[in-house]
Amino acid sequence: MLAQAGGFQVNTQGQKALGMGGAFSAYNKDASAAYYNPGALSMLDSGRYISVGSTFLMPKTTFLSANTATVSEMESQVFFPSYLYAAIPVSKRITAGLSVNSPYGLGTKWEDNWEGRSVSQEVNLKTFYVQPTLSYRITDNFSAGAGLVYAYGDVLVRRQIGEINSNAKLTGTASGFGFNAGVFGKIQDELSFGITYRSNVNFNLDKGKATFTNVPASLSSQFPNQNFKSTLELPSTLSVGFTNRINQKILVAFEFNLTGWSSYDSLNFNFENAATPDSRAGRKYEDAMAFRVGTEYGHSDNLAFRAGLFYDETPVRDEYISPELPDGSRIGLTAGLSYKLSERFELDAAYLFEKVAERNAVTDITKTNVANVAGKYRTLVNGVGLGLNYKF
């Protein structure tokens, strides 16, 4: 499961933020503010910033079937959601920024012949968000910023049509627009706060490609290769955080997120050919909250250590737990550090461990519109991130 946070959110968008459990909307240390809080961008120390980085995520999921008592392991995959941020002051009060990252993603892959193959064999969703941003320092203590998001998505869905032992593969790309806005304020030098709102993004997939293989000749007219339509709305997120500098060396950050997953009600694929049965799957996600706390310890001018903790609630209800995304509420522990290699270069590193609550999928064989497989899922996620910051 690539999804590293609730639903198919990915919150590894900056190594400093990751080291602090993701509590970063009220902190500004580098160009990742373009994503975490566009308002904070204009509060960076003078200079131009560029940050790049990548997080290697290795999730592991095990499934125990309630019917056959067999254990299936999700195929191991390594994901590396990456980012690029830039912050360039254009005037005394205005800073321009750019954020390029993948805040949503999903990758679940089961063995082609596993027990739930007619529910899901593989889902792969990648997104890329490009967000040019402007941030304005209104006073020395208060700033606001906003960016326009252009989002691009790429999806792959594979499953077996078990009735006739045929295979369906759906692929497509789509794009959409959204925005990201935030305000940032300081109360004296010790306390700062941030509020960020990232809007939902609607993807309209008009020309997806459906490929059917191994279709029996007598049914080939029902399952020709064809186009399909689908829509997917990725949710909005509201973040509220504050940061308290306890002393010269130690800082503590808190954050609350509310992700509007309830917009994700169902996932439907409408096939162009009227003879091909459309696919409709209820999702009925619920809005989900996350709580984050992080700390940073400035060991020296060159070296800082970080640690964080978060609880990320799942948007997936019990009756909709499925092998496409056997999501559960998560507890995460993070650690990180930054080391200044020179005046200009700074290296960030972070480590993440997540334990996803065990989920139990229950099926009712008489509800023929719900395709699922009954059993328990357990998931662990490990991640290591590296980032490089350049200031000039």
Q: Which residues bind another protein (CB under 8 A)?
A: 56, 58, 60-65, 67-71, 73, 115-119, 159-160, 162-165, 216, 218-219, 303, 337, 339, 347, 349, 351, 363, 365-373, 376, 378-380, 382-384, 386
Please report how close the Cβ of residue 162 comes to another protein at its closest, in angstroms: 3
Tokens (6 digits) for 20: 């602090």
In the complex with another protein, which residue's Cβ is closer, 141 or 166?
166
**All residues at 6 or more sequence positions from 220 whose CB lies less than 8 Å from its CB, including other chains:** none
In the complex with another protein, which residue's Cβ is closer, 33 or 170?
170
Please report how close the Cβ of residue 223 comes to another protein at its closest, in angstroms: 11
Cβ distance 57 to 380 under 8 Å?
A: no
In the complex with another protein, which residue's Cβ is closer, 71 or 246?
71
Strands 303-312 and 330-340: antiparallel
- In angstroms, the CA 370 to CA 366 distance is 9
In the complex with another protein, which residue's Cβ is closer, 16 or 198?
16
User: For residue 156, what is the enclosing H or E element?
Assistant: strand 142-161
Please report how close the Cβ of residue 250 comes to another protein at its closest, in angstroms: 21
User: For residue 36, what is the enclosing H or E element?
Assistant: helix 33-36
Tokens (6 digits) for 243: 């940061």
In the complex with another protein, which residue's Cβ is closer, 73 or 190?
73
Supply the DSSP string of 81-135, one letter for each residue.
-EEEEEEEE-SSSEEEEEEEE--BEEEEE--TTSTTTTT-SEEEEEEEEEEEEEE
Please report how close the Cβ of residue 346 comes to another protein at its closest, in angstroms: 12
Please report how close the Cβ of residue 73 comes to another protein at its closest, in angstroms: 6
In the complex with another protein, which residue's Cβ is closer, 68 or 262?
68
Q: 277: which DSSP letter? A: P
In the complex with another protein, which residue's Cβ is closer, 88 or 281?
281
Q: Is the dihedral of CA 274, 176, 209, 316 positive or negative?
A: negative
Rounded (to 5) percent helix, strand, coil in the chain? 5, 60, 35
Please report how close the Cβ of residue 173 comes to another protein at its closest, in angstroms: 26
Single-letter code of the amino acid located at 318: D
Please report how close the Cβ of residue 232 comes to another protein at its closest, in angstroms: 21
